[in-house]
Chain A
């Protein structure tokens, strides 16, 4: 069966520090991968999506970046965090065949 994991679950970082959130998918190949952010009291916002290794599309201009070094690995990064980067980050994957969407457990980031 397919599973998706992301970590860390909780992160408190000072302004200006770097960020790395990692997401891995098991039990499937060539998944579509997504990073979403949910600010406090707000809806889900698509940040990045990837349809294959090294293929990243950005939906929102910001100081975040994403990489897909392996087929089932998706990483969200920042060189210097801003206060506005605080939020709940969700990784997700979908299959081209079914279109169904599966979410990771989420990572709650607080930037102080």
Chain B
């Protein structure tokens, strides 16, 4: 069993829909990262969180440490949100991350 599981693996949505991507992990962590990988391959860090909730524009990330679960929400989705979203956890082993398999999101106009 992978230490970090993301769901769904693939997601297709219509523009304007509210989107949720889930991440569950099985190890104790010091922080969780949400990353966005664009079709060209470049990766951008969206959030790093260790508790509660963070918001940036239309993106919201939440984490429940007790349940070992995090969600990434996208409100009013747009075709430019189409990308692979990756969850990664820092298990406090020297800034080394364990990555989920990614969620491929396509938002159709």
Contacts and interface: CB of A to CB of B under 8 A. Distances in A.
B101 A101 contact: no
B97 A103 contact: no
A61 B86 CA distance: 25
A95 to B, nearest CB: 9
A79 B94 CA distance: 29
Contacts of B99: 43-44
Given A43-B101, A44-B86, A100 B45 contact: yes
9 contacts: A32-B94, A43-B101, A49-B96, A59-B96, A88-B41, A99-B48, A103-B43, A106-B40, A106-B43
Interface in B70-109: 86, 88, 90, 94-97, 99-102
A70 B17 CA distance: 47
The B contact surface, by secondary structure, is: strand
Interface residues of A, number: 22
A96 B94 CA distance: 9
A100 B48 contact: yes
A40 B95 CA distance: 25
Contacts of B52: none
B42 A106 contact: yes
A102 interface: yes
Interface of B: 30-31, 33, 35, 40-45, 48, 86, 88, 90, 94-97, 99-102
A101 B86 contact: no
A59 B98 CA distance: 12
A49 B94 CA distance: 10
A51 interface: yes
Given A49-B96, A103-B44, A106-B40, 6 more contacts: A44-B86, A99-B48, A99-B90, A101-B33, A102-B45, A108-B41
Nearest to B92: A99
Contacts of A94: 95
